[in-house]
């Protein structure tokens, strides 16, 4: 599943093709993904100029000069294909730009989505309205986490996966950041000290930034020629490493929290 770093890499790659460009042709090749494409999608985007791209949580945003933003989510299997030689079966939305680039949104499992949102009302769009701060933005601070965790007996692992606390953090990144910050994932959120949260915030940023850097700086890196989704080859310190030695001399363990695997080392995570 594309996680925040993959979405960020996708947005940066798309920006190299789309930013400042006019969309000259829009082809909607089936009625829906997870939900229907907006019926006015082709009409709104055709002839529109892209004024910028950005990311919110795991959504990509394509802003236009028509005060409307196209918001996409890659779901489980979505990816953008750049200048494909020919349109493939699962290319459900195809955009052409004034410079002749072709961008195809390919989504075999169709858990993704495409929406049109008034740019001025993006913050109030229901999927965005309750989101917490961006993990790479200035809103994520130790003080924010301390407020969000105050009095909470839920584990810090599950609280960090709560999109209302921090937007867009996935399971891998939470496991890795907690290990790097030496915090036990089963600790009650409200019991974690401010000093520990001050260690955690930069580690959350570092693990995300390292993954973004590993994904390269262009969408051509992301949408690899073999057609595989661009999962980053990354040597995780604990994720997927049950039974492996930790650098501290301990052993990586796996527990299940909220129905999902947590990997951690009881030797160094307290
Ligand atoms: Zn350890």
Centre of ligand 1 from the C-alpha of residue 78, in Å: 35
The stretch 114-126 carries a mean pLDDT of 98
**Model pLDDT, residue 17:** 87
**Model pLDDT, residue 233:** 54
**Confidence category of residue 51, pLDDT binned at 50, 70, 90:** very high
- Could you give the CA distance from residue 177 to residue 210 in angstroms, rounded to a whole number? 12
Centre of ligand 1 from the C-alpha of residue 249, in Å: 6
Length of the chain in terms of residues written: 270
Q: Which CATH number fits domain 142-235: 2.60.40.10, 3.40.50.300, 3.40.50.10140, 1.10.8.50?
A: 1.10.8.50
46-60, 67-81, 212-226 — most confident range: 46-60
**Confidence category of residue 229, pLDDT binned at 50, 70, 90:** very low
- Could you give the CA distance from residue 188 to residue 257 in angstroms, rounded to a whole number? 12
Q: Specify whether the CB–CB gap between 82 and 89 falls below 8 A.
A: no
Active-site residue, from 2, 5, 135, 185: 2
**Model pLDDT, residue 223:** 53
- Could you give the CA distance from residue 205 to residue 210 in angstroms, rounded to a whole number? 8
Centre of ligand 1 from the C-alpha of residue 110, in Å: 39
**Model pLDDT, residue 9:** 86
**Model pLDDT, residue 31:** 95
Active site residue 185: no
144-169: per-residue pLDDT in tens? 999 999 999 999 999 999 999 999 99
Centre of ligand 1 from the C-alpha of residue 1, in Å: 27
Centre of ligand 1 from the C-alpha of residue 232, in Å: 24
**Model pLDDT, residue 84:** 87
Domain at 4-129: CATH code = 3.20.190.10
Q: Specify whether the CB–CB gap between 268 and 182 falls below 8 A.
A: yes
Active-site residue, from 3, 21, 134, 203: 3
**Model pLDDT, residue 61:** 98
**CA distances to 242, 249, 268 from 253, in Å:** 5, 13, 12
86-111 exposure pattern, b = at least 16 Cβ within 10 A, e = fewer: eeeebbbbbbbbeeeebbbbbbbebe
**Model pLDDT, residue 43:** 98
Centre of ligand 1 from the C-alpha of residue 269, in Å: 7
**Model pLDDT, residue 224:** 46
**Confidence category of residue 232, pLDDT binned at 50, 70, 90:** low
* Sequence-separated (6 or more) residues with CB below 8 Å from residue 72: 59, 60, 62, 78, 105, 112, 113, 114, 115
Centre of ligand 1 from the C-alpha of residue 29, in Å: 50
The dihedrals phi and psi of 115, each to the nearest 5 degrees, come to -135, 155
In this predicted structure, the answer to whether residue 46 has a pLDDT above a threshold of 50 is yes
**Model pLDDT, residue 13:** 84
Active site residue 270: no
Q: Specify whether the CB–CB gap between 141 and 201 falls below 8 A.
A: yes
**Model pLDDT, residue 184:** 98
- Could you give the CA distance from residue 246 to residue 259 in angstroms, rounded to a whole number? 24
Active site residue 2: yes
- Could you give the CA distance from residue 73 to residue 101 in angstroms, rounded to a whole number? 21
Within the chain, all domains assigned CATH 3.20.190.10 are found at 4-129
**Confidence category of residue 16, pLDDT binned at 50, 70, 90:** confident
Within the chain, all domains assigned CATH 1.10.8.50 are found at 142-235
Q: What is the mean pLDDT of the chain?
A: 92
- Could you give the CA distance from residue 40 to residue 80 in angstroms, rounded to a whole number? 21
**Which structure tokens are listed for 140?**
């994520």
Active site residue 3: yes
DSSP assignments along 82-139, one per residue: ES-SS--TTEEEEEEETTS-EEEEE-SS---EEEEEEGGGGGGSHHHHT----TTSTT
In this prediction, what percent of the chain has a pLDDT beyond 70?
93
Which H helix or E strand runs over 18?
Answer: helix 4-18
Active-site residue, from 66, 205, 234, 260: 260
Active-site residue, from 55, 56, 58, 157: 58
**Model pLDDT, residue 144:** 98
**Confidence category of residue 228, pLDDT binned at 50, 70, 90:** very low
Crossing angle, helix 171-180 and helix 194-214, to 10 degrees? Answer: 130
């Amino acid at each position: 599943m594309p996680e925040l770093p993959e979405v960020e890499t996708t947005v940066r790659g798309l920006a190299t093709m789309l930013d400042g460009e006019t969309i000259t042709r829009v082809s909607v090749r089936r009625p829906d993904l997870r939900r229907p494409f907006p019926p006015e999608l082709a009409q709104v985007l055709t002839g529109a100029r892209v004024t910028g791209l950005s990311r919110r949580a795991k959504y990509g945003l394509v802003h236009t000069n028509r005060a409307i933003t196209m918001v996409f989510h890659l779901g489980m299997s979505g990816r953008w294909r750049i200048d494909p030689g020919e349109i493939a079966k699962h290319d459900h939305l195809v955009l052409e730009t004034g410079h002749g680039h072709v961008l195809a949104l390919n989504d075999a499992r169709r858990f993704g989505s495409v929406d049109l949102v008034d740019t001025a009302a993006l913050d109030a769009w229901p999927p965005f309205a309750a989101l917490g701060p961006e993990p790479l933005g200035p809103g994520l601070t130790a003080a924010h986490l301390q407020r969000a965790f105050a009095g909470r007996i839920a584990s810090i692992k599950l609280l960090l996966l709560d999109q209302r606390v921090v937007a867009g953090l996935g399971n891998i990144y939470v496991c890795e950041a907690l290990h790097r910050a030496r915090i036990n994932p089963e600790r009650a959120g409200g019991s974690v000290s401010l000093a520990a949260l001050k260690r955690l915030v930069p580690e959350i940023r570092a693990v995300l930034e390292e993954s973004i850097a590993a994904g390269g700086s262009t969408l051509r890196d992301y949408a690899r020629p073999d057609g595989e989704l661009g999962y980053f080859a990354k040597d995780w310190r604990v994720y997927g490493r049950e039974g492996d030695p930790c650098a501290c001399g301990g052993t990586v363990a796996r527990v299940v929290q909220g129905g999902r695997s947590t990997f951690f080392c009881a030797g160094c995570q307290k």
